[in-house]
Chain A
């Protein structure tokens, strides 16, 4: 059994050949116990190095979800599953993006530096959401503007409705049977069917 719990992305998955001789290294026979301490140290070091890409890949995938995949899937590079293709994982475009993010992380760049670098390299279309600046402000504020205009309209309507004169109370038997019937039906509707 092989546990691949720590695998993130496709680059760190173990190979099945590792099952052949227990250690996954060719040419080690009975004398292998001589090399055991050395091997243990080497493996520990390898594991330590192996963990580093996993962590950076995690961060790359988080950042990848802010970057568009341009393969046509309409998804982000961090979650591209390429529907309809032979392989339902990150496509070559998404992998290239994630790899570039990984490399930049490896160079110690911050998240915002990486995102800005992508914008400079590929334009704003590289981002899953337009940056909040310049003309893009319009996209973010338009629903708010619509709300403000709508709210002003609602307030105006309410004021108009409240200003309307209320009918004076009837002073005599001037109400026809038809009007009474109409009013009664309206009351029934309001009481019964709200």
Chain B
């Protein structure tokens, strides 16, 4: 099966070369048969990668310990779903997994648009296959997961070795969330290749109009949604597994995932300017380019050993390959832009400074500054060592200092931007839309201070959260009220109709509300408490309103690990509310340990209990308890964001009332003004 996998990947590489060269020839010659042939070769590449990936999965699931990569990341007693997850536990497998996910996107695009957009798709195919070829080069020649164990036998002949068991999977990865977090995050990373391919293709082919934007909107949202969910799942994994009481550490790997998400968010906003007004064409193309390049750059950061990270891959020689690819891609982007820059010229004018257009400009500016802040903080230790020869650390305090004001300004724009009208917003409209929400936000902040809330950022966050929430609610209420009064329905039905008529707009509002919830959750960090104590069975400790009693202590030997589990009774106000079972697991296969945190989570706060192990000095069990306010709001916010993203991807429902003419009176009352001509419903997506 290892030979089958290697052969499939090698064939995929050869097919890729053909698809790439044939695609370029097809663009030049415009021969339909060649175009079709290059497209089919591109699809064949994908199928071959799936076969290669499937064979690696088979090798893991059948415990084939003649494979170096399987030995390194699996063992016999590992549960089957962790064996599957072990595929992406190391450098080689994760790069094949990247290829695999990218191939799913590429196949979907080639299949969906087969026979459509003949002027654009050959270019798209070439760009997508070009990116895929880079990863296939790594999979085949630089970091193949199909290496076998061997040693030199008598006479120098190579002898295969089959190990009895493997080294096992890193305990930190043996957690159900870790099975879904990397696939989702990688789906985000790889998904940004699609808008990149369309943008570059439209530029190279001078494809007229904003069609490429319409074609890629859903693809971009899928990638952006995956990236966002992947980041949150990673944060939740860090929270539930690492046992340090937090969810975000500004680690280079976390930063690497955040950077393309920030620029992708900027793109999703600024693209509306191009769709509506034909503006910001250059900007949008470069935003897509930068987002794609950041996905590759982030991968370079985590795999090259350039920066220190807790969960980066081991230092390897793969970095120069990524740098080379980034340089080449940047060169292609720049040359393509320079040669076709007149194609991107926009003609529209800005009617007013107080308009949706201006707010998008500022939104993009702040998102880009946030991205720059993250990049500069991540790379500053490297820069400092290079310039001064001095190593420095850039940790959580630095990133919080720099990013908190930027984040709060973004939160403010989240409330302001959507309520400004296109072209021009009058003062009356400003007062109507912002007056009450702003006033209520300020009052909420003042009440917070009166109730003892302290800290500039916390109070500002509360004020802005109330402000943004109210602006969103008012938008829903006003629209729904009009629909309810015209359709003689209730307000809830009005909200539903309103949302489904313009899913993109109202889905976007729901995403914004999710962001507000996440901000509220993050603001709770200012009030975190923690206590660590030796707690032998029978002993107690208190944290906040909770009293923790260590009742019993169990040790269990299981097939894959040894477990030490504390049973902690939690009382609040003299009443027992829950039993918690924090656990420590020791994995003999790789002599490493993992924590299983026990969390009692409410909307108000999380009681987060870690069994840290036995104290090295006294051999007594040590319990570390954290009281983390509002953390649940972050996960709720994430769920709301997913809901909003899914909603925004749905097609608009036909606006029934708007299409009704005077000749067809409404059942509920007089009709709206008749349209001068039958309006063809515009979906607004693609």
Contact = CB atoms under 8 A, between A and B. Distances in A.
A193 B652 contact: yes
B368 A150 contact: yes
Nearest to A70: B393
Interface string A11-35: 0011110010000000000000000
Interface stretch (B218-226, B426-434, B615-623): B615-623
B682 A189 contact: yes
B244 A129 contact: no
Interface stretch (B58-66, B158-166, B198-206, B343-351): B343-351
Contact of B505 (A130, A150, A166, A193): A193
A14 B534 contact: yes
B567 to A, nearest CB: 16
A192 interface: yes
A165 B117 CA distance: 35
B539 A1 contact: yes
Interface stretch (A43-51, A103-111, A133-141, A168-176): A133-141
B82 to A, nearest CB: 16
B358 interface: yes
A4 B535 contact: yes
B541 interface: yes
A65 B525 CA distance: 14
Contacts of B303: none
B616 A125 contact: no
Interface in B577-615: 584, 586, 592-595, 610-615
A194 B422 contact: yes
B589 to A, nearest CB: 14
Contacts of A87: 612-616, 622
B612 A124 contact: no
Most buried by B among A68, A84, A124: A84
B405 to A, nearest CB: 9
Contacts of A130: 380, 384, 392-394, 398
Interface size class of B (residues with CB under 8 A): 35 or more
Contact of B365 (A14, A72, A75, A151): A151
Given A123-B390, A128-B398, A193-B505, A8 B531 contact: yes
A125 B394 CA distance: 8
Contacts of B353: 158
Contacts of A129: 393-395, 397-398, 401
A120 interface: no
A193 B372 contact: no
Contact of A125 (B245, B366, B391, B584): B391
Given A89-B624, A151-B365, A161 B349 contact: yes
Nearest to A143: B373
Contacts of B541: 3-5, 7
Most buried by A among B171, B245, B540: B540
B251 A7 contact: no
A40 interface: no
A1 B620 contact: no
Q: Say what secondary structure dominates the interface of chain B.
A: mixed
Nearest to A9: B532
Contacts of B505: 193-194
Interface in B46-63: none
A68 B393 contact: yes
A128 B396 contact: yes
B526 interface: no
Interface string B242-281: 1111100101000000000000000000001001100100
A73 B310 contact: yes
Contact of A4 (B171, B402, B533, B594): B533
Contacts of A126: 393
B305 interface: no
Contacts of B668: none
Contacts of A14: 534, 539
Contacts of A142: 372-373, 376
B490 interface: no
Interface residues of A, number: 66
Contacts of A1: 538-540, 549
A146 interface: yes
B92 interface: no
Nearest to B246: A79
A120 to B, nearest CB: 13
Contacts of B593: 84-86, 88
Contacts of A19: 538
A161 B395 CA distance: 41
Contact of B369 (A85, A138, A147): A147
A162 B361 CA distance: 14
A10 B532 CA distance: 7
A124 B620 CA distance: 36
Contacts of B380: 130, 138-139
B170 to A, nearest CB: 8
B617 A10 contact: yes
A85 B242 CA distance: 10
Contact of B358 (A124, A136, A158): A158
Interface string B173-187: 000000000000000
Given A4-B539, A147-B366, 20 more contacts: A1-B538, A3-B542, A14-B539, A16-B536, A19-B538, A74-B395, A75-B249, A81-B610, A83-B241, A87-B614, A87-B615, A88-B593, A88-B610, A89-B532, A125-B392, A126-B393, A146-B372, A154-B361, A193-B505, A194-B505
Interface of B: 170-172, 241-246, 249, 251, 272, 275-276, 279, 308-310, 347-350, 353, 356, 358, 361-362, 365-366, 368-369, 372-373, 376-377, 380, 383-384, 387-388, 390-398, 401-402, 406, 422, 502, 504-505, 531-536, 538-542, 549, 584, 586, 592-595, 610-618, 620, 622, 624, 652, 655, 658, 679, 682, 684
Interface of A: 1-5, 7-10, 13-16, 19, 65-66, 68, 72-76, 79, 81, 83-89, 123-130, 135-136, 138-140, 142-143, 146-147, 150-151, 154, 157-158, 161-162, 164-166, 185-186, 188-190, 192-194
The 9 closest A-B pairs by CB, nearest first: A13-B534, A161-B350, A128-B395, A129-B398, A81-B244, A143-B373, A193-B684, A7-B533, A129-B397
18 contacts: A2-B538, A3-B539, A5-B531, A7-B541, A15-B618, A74-B308, A81-B245, A81-B610, A81-B612, A87-B612, A87-B616, A123-B391, A127-B393, A130-B384, A143-B369, A161-B348, A189-B276, A192-B684
